[in-house]
Structures are given as C-alpha cells and as structure tokens.
Amino acid sequence: MFELLEDAGFARVRSAVVPGFRFKKKATQNSAEAFGVKAVMLTATKPAAV
C-alpha cells in the first residue's frame, strides 16, 4: 500500500505497525504470521497546489 500511495501522487507517506493487533483465533493468527500479515497505520498528504 505504501508504494501504491506514492504512485497515486501522495507525499510524506509514513507507516507504522499497529501495536496490539492480532487475530482472535490462534489458527488464523498462525496463518497470518506465516504470510507476514500485520496491521499498519498509514498517513500521507496530497501536495498543495503550486
């Protein structure tokens, strides 16, 4: 998503992992970890008009 935001024209794209996110069911959490699934917070800005 980070790259997609930059490709769309967004500037100052920032990301951070959401602390505490996890799936409720152990099996789902295990599968998520195997795929490197995590929750992130993303912020970005549409550049001001020149």
Partner 1 sequence: MNSAESQAGLEAVLKDEILRMYQEVADNPEADFHFHHGREAAELFGYDPTWLDEAPAGAVASFAGVGNPLERADLKPGETVLDLGSGAGLDAILAARRVGPSGRVIGVDLNPAMCLKAQAHAAATGVGMECHEGRMEEIPLPDDSVDCVLSNGVINLSFRKRRVMEEMYRVLRPGGRISITDIVSARQLSQSIVNDPRLWAS
Binding site for partner 1 (CB under 8 A): 1, 4-5, 7-10, 18, 20-25, 28, 35-49
Q: How far is the CB of 31 from partner 1 (least distance, A)?
A: 9
Residue found by looking up tokens 């001001």 in the block: 48
Q: How far is the CB of 29 from partner 1 (least distance, A)?
A: 9
Q: How far is the CB of 45 from partner 1 (least distance, A)?
A: 5
Q: What angle do CA 39, 11, 42 make, to 5 degrees?
A: 10
